[in-house]
């Protein structure tokens, strides 16, 4: 080793094979290098982490929605944490379609009953963000295309969702997410 303390590498019972002797200087270099790496990391981390959501952005907010004005077959968009949330009043036919699908026919298998609140299965509440690359799918306005499965159609790359908000046609890999929410009364929900 070039930086070995002894000019002629020691061989024999104590030395490492092929003259790769470990010296005090190697040890010091390693410790100094490791110390420097930790130091740089300690400086870089605050910079990197400053780009993560700040405390005010993280502060949870909740949104209340009154359901009475939404007619069967209609859906509205509300905002929760800056994201669109779809609240859809499903018709009996749409509920039946959502319940009758075989799970094996789904891209992201999930039963309809797991996506609505028991006893309120006419109400579907999902985050209105396509799980492909984040566009807002069409299907809430009466004039919107709803795709082959009668749910939502994403204009960006053609993903389609059914009346339970489950993805039925790619490229989206996952169902529309269900946000945390609860029924405060039969006609009012609180999201978040």
Partner 1 sequence: MAGLHKSDFKNPVVNWIDTRLPVFTMMQKEYGVFPTPKNFNYFWNFGALAMVNLMIMIATGIFLAMNYTPHVTMAFDSVERIMRDVNYGWMLRYAHANGASMFFIVTYIHIFRGLYYGSYKAPRELLWMLGVVILLLMMATAFMGYVLPWGQMSYWGATVITNLFSAIPVVGDSIVTWLWGGFSVDNPTLNRFFSLHYLLPFVLVGVIFLHIAALHITGSNNPLGIDVKSEQDTLPFHPYYTIKDSVGICVYLIVFAVLVFFAPNFFSAPDNYIQANPLVTPAEIVPEWYFLPFYAILRSVPNKLGGVSMMFGAIAVLFVLPWLDTSPVRSAKFRPIYRILFWVLVVAVIALGMVGAHRPEGAWVTIGRLATLYYFLHFLVILPVLGKLERPLPLPESISRPVIGGGPLPAGATAKPMEKV
Active site residue 89: no
**Under rule CB under 8 A, residue 89 binds partner 1:** no
**Closest distance to partner 1 from the beta carbon of 65 (Å):** 15
- Which one of ligand FES, partner 1, none interacts with residue 89, CB within 5 to 8 A by kind? none
Given the residues 89, 132, 157, 169, select the one marked as catalytic: 157
Choose between 160 and 164: whose C-beta lies nearer to ligand FES.
160
Q: How far apart are CA 136 and CA 155, in angstroms?
A: 8
Q: Given candidates 54, 59, 103, 105, which one binds partner 1 under the rule CB under 8 A?
A: 54
Q: How far apart are CA 176 and CA 82, in angstroms?
A: 16
Cβ burial 144-156 (10 Å sphere, 16+ → b, else e):
eebbebbbbbbee
Contacting residues toward ligand FES, per CB under 6 A: 130, 132-135, 154, 156-159, 171-172
CA atoms in the 13 A half-sphere facing the CB of 125: 24
């Amino acid at each position: 080793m070039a930086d070995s303390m002894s000019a002629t590498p020691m061989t024999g019972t104590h030395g490492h094979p092929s003259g790769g002797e470990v010296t005090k200087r190697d040890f010091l270099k390693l410790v100094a290098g490791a110390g420097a790496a930790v130091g740089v990391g300690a400086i870089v981390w605050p910079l990197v982490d400053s780009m993560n959501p700040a405390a005010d952005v993280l502060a949870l907010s909740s949104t209340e929605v009154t359901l009475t004005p939404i007619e069967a077959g209609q859906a509205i968009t509300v905002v929760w944490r800056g994201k669109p949330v779809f609240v859809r009043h499903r018709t009996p036919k749409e509920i039946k379609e959502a319940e009758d699908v075989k799970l094996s026919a789904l891209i992201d298998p999930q039963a309809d009953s797991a996506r609505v609140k028991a006893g309120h299965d006419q109400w579907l509440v999902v985050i209105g963000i396509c799980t492909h690359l984040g566009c807002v799918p069409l299907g809430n306005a009466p004039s919107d295309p709803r795709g082959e499965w009668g749910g939502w159609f994403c204009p960006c790359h053609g993903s389609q969702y059914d009346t339970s908000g489950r993805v039925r046609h790619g490229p989206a890999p996952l169902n529309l997410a269900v946000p945390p929410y609860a029924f405060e009364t039969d006609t009012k929900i609180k999201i978040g």
